[in-house]
A and B are shown apart, each in its own frame.
Chain A
Amino acid sequence: MLQIRRVSKKFDGFEALGEIDLAVDRGEIAGIVGTSGCGKSTLLRIVGGLEAPSSGSVVLDGVAVAGPRPEVGLVFQEPRLMPWLSVRENVEFALARRPRAQRRPLADAALARVGLGAVADALPQALSGGMAQRAAIARALVARPQVLLLDEPFSALDAFTRFGLQDHLLDIWRADQPTMLFVTHDVEEALVLSDRVVVMRAKPGRIHAQYRIDLPRPRRRTEGRLQAWKERILEDLDLAVKGGGADPEFAI
């Protein structure tokens, strides 16, 4: 179980996060939505050990997180592949702790799972945006982390690629059952993927509401209940349609 206990974060006196309490069960998918500046990415970076909280702690199976650790995989908004390494070597990059002989077969298996087996020897610049992000997912998954953190992983992709990768991520989750905590500003994405949607609001960043989404998967984007939740969440974020268009950040 992943526990976020009274975590707060200040940057030079600016309160980015108030006190956040959140527990994510093993194998659960939790999606965090919120407007820009609500601290959702900061929270994810703290859980990943990339930033230290100003107060509070993150505890994974009873052990406090004090820095990046192999049980926690991270996928960023950009693929962040090393441009001088082949796609396979980029995945092997995450296996530095393993004996050299194990790395290649593990990397090839991870690439095959995201459908990139054929481009293992290519350099990252040869990949499309969606393929590069799949390679990044393979790199995050190859060491079989118990927790997968994703920071707006699909926001830079076009809608068709995004839908495809969302399905892909669910396939991976069904096979490995990692705990997943992901940040998005696409409410529909959160609803399609998550067991629970956490709504955050800013000044300071705090959890405003949580919704348990108990619909069976795969979920249809046009499903009525899903649309009702979406309306509620947009209201939570003051983004419901009031005689005009929604905030352009939420182009859904």
Chain B
Amino acid sequence: MRFRARLALGGAAGLVLPALLLALWEALSRFGLAPPNLLPAPSAVLRALGGLWLSGELPGHIEVTLLRVLLGFLFGTAAGTLLGALTGYSALWRRLLDPAFQALRSIPSFAWIPLFVLWLGIFEASKLTLIAVGAFFPVYLNTMAGIQQVDRKLVEVARVHGYGGAALVRCVLLPATLPAYVTGLRGGLGLAWMFVVAAEFMGASEGLGFLLIDGQQTGRPANIIAAVLLFAVFGKASDLALAALGRRFVSWQDNFQSAEERKADAADPPRLQEV
């Protein structure tokens, strides 16, 4: 019984604080303690969401933003995978390329915006480039680190059994790198969501980021909060989808880690580079 109660609480515990805050927020608005022109009640936000949906405006914004995130993420991931694999596999390429990428990484990515707009114009190309840059680094870093961290002893076992070249990559390097790669993908997707907001701030006429700016300029805080909520929902949903996809390939790693953690009893989990 106690175990079951703890299990149920474990799932629901995370919802307690948001529910309390939501109730407090609604109560403050109802009793007139929060100015509705600055902090509309949750019910007002819901109404705004419904109105935007019914007017047909919202689906368009959602579609545009999702497409931007998806394309930017795909471009960034493709580049990050290729270059990360190259620098992870070959010490020569790592010495040639990695210092430059590390230097580029330390530039705050939003600092690129003026240059991208100047080079690529105010429309989709500059937005997608910015999102791709955001997604690139976590994927690149984790791919490279993942390949470098493959246990050399396992590679040796493969060599003993006659694996080399493509077979070595397929049977050992790839599966051993996958957990780090999935971590990189999730980090990259998270940054893609972050950067799509920045991209849509720099002059967009559609998208959830535009809805934020538009809400500010036209004094509709309910729209702003609605857009923020949608970012949270889609960001979390896409991450969960990616994590579920990853788990299918790296379930051994989840088990492996939990088994190791049981052994080490609260020792630090293996750290991968996250941005």
In the complex, what distance in Å separates the CA atom of A84 from the CA atom of B154?
12
Q: Could you give, for residues 45-84 of chain A, a 1 whenever the CB lies within 8 Å of some chain B CB and a 0 otherwise? A: 0001010000000000000000011100010101010111
Contact partner, B162, options A50, A70, A84, Cβ 8 Å: A70
Interface pick from A15-23, A91-99, A209-217: A91-99
CB proximity of B255 to chain A, nearest CB, Å: 6
Contact status A96-B167, CB under 8 Å:
yes
Interface residues of A in 1-50 (CB under 8 A from B): 48, 50
B178 cross-chain contacts in A, Cβ below 8 A? 84
In the complex, what distance in Å separates the CA atom of A93 from the CA atom of B159?
11
In the complex, what distance in Å separates the CA atom of A126 from the CA atom of B260?
11
Interface pick from B15-23, B49-57, B169-177, B182-190: B169-177
A123 within 8 A of B: yes
> Which of B159, B160, B163 has the most chain A CB atoms inside 10 A of its CB?
B160
**Given A48-B160, A68-B160, A68-B162, are A80 and B153 also a contact pair (CB < 8 Å)?**
yes
A155 within 8 A of B: no
CB proximity of A112 to chain B, nearest CB, Å: 21
Interface residues of A in 96-123 (CB under 8 A from B): 96-97, 123
CB proximity of A17 to chain B, nearest CB, Å: 19
Contact status A68-B159, CB under 8 Å:
yes
In the complex, what distance in Å separates the CA atom of A93 from the CA atom of B178?
19
Q: Could you give, for residues 161-204 of chain A, a 1 whenever the CB lies within 8 Å of some chain B CB and a 0 otherwise? A: 00000000000000000000000000000000000000000000
CB proximity of B180 to chain A, nearest CB, Å: 13
Q: Which residue of chain A has the shortest Cβ distance to B171 in the bound complex?
A: A93
In the complex, what distance in Å separates the CA atom of A50 from the CA atom of B153?
12
A68 cross-chain contacts in B, Cβ below 8 A? 159-162
Contact status A123-B153, CB under 8 Å:
no
Contact status A97-B252, CB under 8 Å:
no
A227 within 8 A of B: no
In the complex, what distance in Å separates the CA atom of A97 from the CA atom of B167?
12
Where the two chains meet, the residues of B that have a C-beta atom closer than 8 Å to any C-beta of A are: 153-154, 156-163, 167, 171-172, 175-176, 178, 250, 252-253, 255-256, 259-260
Question: What are 30 A-B pairs at a CB distance below 8 A?
Answer: A48-B160, A50-B160, A68-B159, A68-B161, A68-B162, A69-B162, A70-B162, A74-B160, A76-B153, A80-B153, A80-B154, A82-B154, A82-B175, A83-B253, A83-B256, A84-B176, A84-B178, A84-B250, A84-B252, A93-B158, A93-B161, A94-B161, A96-B162, A96-B163, A123-B252, A123-B255, A125-B252, A125-B255, A125-B256, A126-B259
Where the two chains meet, the residues of A that have a C-beta atom closer than 8 Å to any C-beta of B are: 48, 50, 68-70, 74, 76, 78, 80, 82-84, 93-94, 96-97, 123, 125-126
| Besides the known contacts A78-B153, A123-B256, 6 further A-B residue pairs in the complex with CB atoms under 8 A apart | A50-B159, A82-B176, A83-B252, A83-B256, A84-B175, A97-B162
